[in-house]
């Protein structure tokens, strides 16, 4: 028996229950929802990343992003695009559908979509966010997605770095400790 089956809500609560998996949608659905949110005058924020082995840096980054608007959409790199990014052997450690559901479970996140691109240009062009958030480590760099953000009428904001936290460093520490 799964944990969901063992914790069944009442019929009334079941109608209102939104699970993390319900917040994982395809890019077209994310774009449609973004258009609805913008039509009512609210601000759509978009950010993206691998989000492999969630840590406090991810949580604070996403909370910061959510604070810049009314509706946060998070793009998750597909497993194939993570391998193309060269994050390291065996990455991602957590499959894309699980990474998406974990991120969707965070209260600051409204929707999650998975994209296959190495860079999110096409996804940004579809969603047309008011604000696109990047890690402060990219500030001053030439961002490949900058044109897509500007063409959609958006701006880029940089989230402060959290004490040099990264999944790559966690993986390296685990590998070192295992030796």
d(CA 64, CA 56): 12
pTM: 0.85
10 lies in some domain: no
45 lies in some domain: yes
1 lies in some domain: no
172 lies in some domain: yes
76 lies in some domain: yes
From the list 171, 172, 162, 128, the residue with the least C-alpha distance to 147 is 128
pLDDT-based confidence at residue 8 (cuts at 50, 70, 90): low
* Number of folded domains that form the chain: 1
Element (DSSP H or E) covering residue 49: strand 44-49
Name the residue range of residue 36's domain.
16-178
CATH number at residue 69: 3.40.50.620
State residue 1's pLDDT score: 42
> Which tens digits make up the pLDDT trace of 13-64?
555 678 999 999 999 999 999 999 999 999 999 999 999 989 899 999 999 9
């Amino acid at each position: 028996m799964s944990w969901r089956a063992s914790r069944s809500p009442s019929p009334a609560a079941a109608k209102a229950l939104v699970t993390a998996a319900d917040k994982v949608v395809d890019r077209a659905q994310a774009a449609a929802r973004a258009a609805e949110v913008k039509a009512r005058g609210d601000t759509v924020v978009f950010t993206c990343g691998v989000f492999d082995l969630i840590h406090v840096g991810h949580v604070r980054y996403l909370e910061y992003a959510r604070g810049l608007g009314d509706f946060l959409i998070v793009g998750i790199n597909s497993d194939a695009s993570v391998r193309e990014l060269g994050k390291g052997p065996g990455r991602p450690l957590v499959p894309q559908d699980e990474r998406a559901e974990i991120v969707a479970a965070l209260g600051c996140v409204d929707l999650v979509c998975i994209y296959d691109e190495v860079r999110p240009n096409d996804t940004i062009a579809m969603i047309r966010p008011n604000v696109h958030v990047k890690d402060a480590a990219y500030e001053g760099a030439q961002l490949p997605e900058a044109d897509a953000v500007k063409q959609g009428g958006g701006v880029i904001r940089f989230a402060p770095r959290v004490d040099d936290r990264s999944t790559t460093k966690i993986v390296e520490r685990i590998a070192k400790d295992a030796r």
